[in-house]
């Protein structure tokens, strides 16, 4: 059972390991820098060493990094598109420094140019970013909720992107809220089986490396990207019990639940663990 959440890197990036441990995570996700700025503070040698040493002393694995919010790999607007590629390259290099094996990226908006153009831009962005790197973390393409002009809301579409990139080191991050909002009914056995079959046919379940375990404020097929606390949204207890009894249970489960006064990250992680154990009859 690998369950954790997104944790802060405030003060120093190695503090993320401390926070993850305090919450009870055995996997976790971070931003390696501020997610709302193009400019990134350089990582000091001391904090990189401290981060790696702390990870080495724990059983936390894997660590997952997430791309900042500003990049749009689907964009046809030259200046922000170049900055997006540069950011992807920098994040790959930072993950290499920190020994982080997975980098999750949103696929962005094609800005009305159509999904074919959006896919082409993503493929070019990845190919450009990895060019010349001897190694890089696996780039995980996160499924989107299907809002207007979003690229990559179906696993057919994501499969088409993966087929065209120049690196084999690309996989998928499955987001439960996004999938449900797009119309994948993971709350019942038939809907979940249909989802898994679409993934197997177009990507392969082995390419799903991480799951973002989030409840959904939006209804099925609403295309609303609004995360909710575990058991408090439209996926709900029954839906998570169904989901966590499937082959998805074998993947690292990362929570990105709201930051508010309703429930803490620690309590959300505990809820997820309890549901996992209930779904799999773990005593």
Task: Point out the residues that are catalytic.
Answer: 36, 66, 69, 106, 142, 175, 178, 212, 225, 227, 256
Whole-angstrom CA distances from 191 to 52, 146, 179, 182, 183 are 41, 18, 11, 12, 9
Helix axes 15-23, 265-279, angle to 10 degrees: 50
Is the CB of residue 117 less than 8 Å from the CB of residue 81? no
Residue listed under structure tokens 């790959």:
92
DSSP state of 71: -
Alpha-carbon gap, residue 142 to 155, rounded angstroms: 10
Is the CB of residue 186 less than 8 Å from the CB of residue 221? no
Using omega within 30 degrees of 0 as the cis cutoff, is the peptide bond preceding 101 cis? no
Alpha-carbon gap, residue 19 to 8, rounded angstroms: 8
Residues 239-273 as b or e (16 or more Cβ within 10 Å = b) = bbbbbbbbebeebbbbbbbbeeeebebeebbbbbb
Helix, strand and coil in the chain, % to nearest 5: 40, 15, 45
Distance of CA 133 to the CA centre of its chain: 22
Structure tokens at 204: 């392969």
Question: 189: which residues sit within 8 A by CB, 6+ positions away?
Answer: 242
């Amino acid at each position: 059972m690998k369950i954790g959440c997104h944790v802060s890197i405030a003060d120093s990036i190695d503090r993320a390991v401390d926070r993850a441990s305090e919450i009870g995570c055995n996997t976790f996700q971070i931003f390696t820098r501020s997610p709302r700025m193009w400019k990134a503070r350089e990582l000091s040698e001391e904090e990189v060493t401290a981060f790696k040493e702390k990870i080495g002393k724990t059983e936390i694995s894997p660590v997952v990094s997430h791309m900042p919010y500003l990049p749009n790999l689907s964009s046809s607007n030259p200046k922000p598109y170049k900055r997006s590629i540069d950011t992807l390259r920098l994040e790959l290099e930072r993950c290499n420094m920190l020994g982080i094996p997975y980098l999750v990226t949103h696929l962005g908006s094609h800005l009305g140019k159509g999904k074919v153009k959006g896919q082409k831009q993503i493929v070019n962005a990845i190919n450009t970013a990895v060019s010349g790197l001897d190694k890089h973390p696996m780039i995980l393409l996160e499924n989107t909720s299907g809002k207007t002009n979003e690229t990559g809301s179906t696993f057919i579409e994501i499969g088409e992107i993966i087929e065209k990139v120049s690196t084999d080191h690309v996989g998928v991050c499955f987001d439960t809220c996004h999938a449900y909002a797009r119309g994948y009914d993971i709350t019942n056995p038939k809907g979940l089986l249909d989802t898994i079959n679409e993934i197997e046919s177009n990507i392969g379940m082995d390419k799903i490396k991480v799951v973002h375990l989030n409840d959904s404020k939006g209804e099925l097929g609403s295309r609303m990207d609004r995360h909710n606390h575990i058991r408090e949204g439209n996926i709900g207890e029954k839906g998570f019990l169904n989901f966590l009894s499937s082959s998805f249970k074998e993947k690292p489960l990362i929570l990105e639940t709201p930051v508010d006064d309703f429930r803490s990250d620690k309590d959300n992680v505990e809820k997820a663990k309890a549901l996992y154990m209930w779904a799999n009859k773990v005593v």
